[in-house]
Amino acid sequence: MDAILLQVLNGLDKGAAYALIALGLTLIFGTLGVVNFAHGALFMLGAFCAVTINKVLTLQKVVLSQTETTAWGTPLEIRTPLAQEWFGDLGLTIIDFSVPISIIAAIPVMLLIGVVMERGLIRYFYKRPHAEQILVTFGLAIVLQEIIKAFFGANPIQQNAPEMLQGAIDFGALFGNPGALVYPLWRMVYLAFSVIVILSVFAFLQFTTFGMVVRAGMADRETVGLLGIDIDRRFTIVFGIAAVVAGTAGVMYTPILPPDYHMGMDFLVLSFVVVVVGGMGSLGGAVSAGFLLGILQSFASMSEIRDLLAKVGIIGLDQIIIYLIAIVILLVRPRGLMGRKGVME
């Protein structure tokens, strides 16, 4: 039972990342009708916002000691982070919480990137075939990858969660069985963060005037335009919001997976499968499919299941389970779990 609960938690954790990226993909497709293959790159850019903030906060002031020397007789270099130099112990706390603090910087940065991307490129492909949209946005993703690679290198860059959040939660102790089910605390923080973001997006679209106009535009863009509402400006803001969702998801994921230049593409492929399974244009479908496929992938990676399947010659099921489930669902429901008629047809 403990092993099953552990896999459920692993699946929810992984599914949360898929759901957040898929949510942004679906939001863009539902409003603009654009298949955005550069969305994974936004996840990556958010992760490197965290890397950049950490590098800035850990810049050091170097002073040569007047009394201490190295083994070679040269003055010893005393290195002090500028944040500590300026703010004392508070500066060390700021460095420790660099990942959560990065969200504050990532929100305006990702909003700006999203708006520039939509106004500078995406808007010219609104009514173009989906194949052209995929080609152009995929090319943009490659360009962004190479820019990040040029500035930060090809190797993953480790980011640490705040020290107070680096421990683990002993769920077993809650049920009188200490040590039976221990799960990393930061992964639980990420799951909670994902749920809050998802609920916030749904609440924004459901209960605000802006969101109602956007939903109306998703259903009938021409009619909303005839009412004198500047729907294009609102859709641009929605693209920016989708970029913020992907970027902040990337920021918070850095302590779980050290960011590198191709992490966005890795997540994009799986998240796009999630979108198709959930139903193109369905926000609820994207989120549901993200968590569902994350849990299935987690169970497929269990050693007991892998050993059992290995006996019949099936190896690496955890790597292909999402694609197999996608094939089955699309054979039974070609529009996905919650897809609308006429979308991508």
Q: Both tokens of residue 127?
A: 């009514």
Q: What is the per-residue pLDDT for 319?
A: 67
pLDDT band for position 68 (50/70/90)? confident
Q: What is the per-residue pLDDT for 94?
A: 87
3-state secondary structure of 339: coil
pLDDT at 345 over 50: no
pLDDT at 103 over 80: yes
Q: What is the per-residue pLDDT for 295?
A: 85
Q: What is the pTM of this model?
A: 0.85
Are 43 and 267 in contact, with CB atoms under 8 Å apart? yes
Q: What is the per-residue pLDDT for 108?
A: 94
Choice among 11-20, 96-105, 208-217 with the minimum mean pLDDT? 208-217
Q: What is the mean pLDDT of residues 85-111?
A: 88
- The tens digit of pLDDT for each residue in 175-214 reads 677 777 788 889 999 999 999 999 998 898 888 888 888 7
Are 97 and 165 in contact, with CB atoms under 8 Å apart? no
Residue whose pair of structure tokens reads 């779980």 in the numeric block: 256
The full DSSP string for 124-148 is: GGTTS-HHHHHHHHHHHHHHHHHHH
The structural domains of the chain, with segments of one domain joined by +, span: 2-50+98-332
Q: What is the mean pLDDT of residues 244-269?
A: 89
**b (16+ CB within 10 A) / e for 272-293:** bbbbbbbbbbbbebbbbbbbbb
Name the more confident of 2 and 112: 112
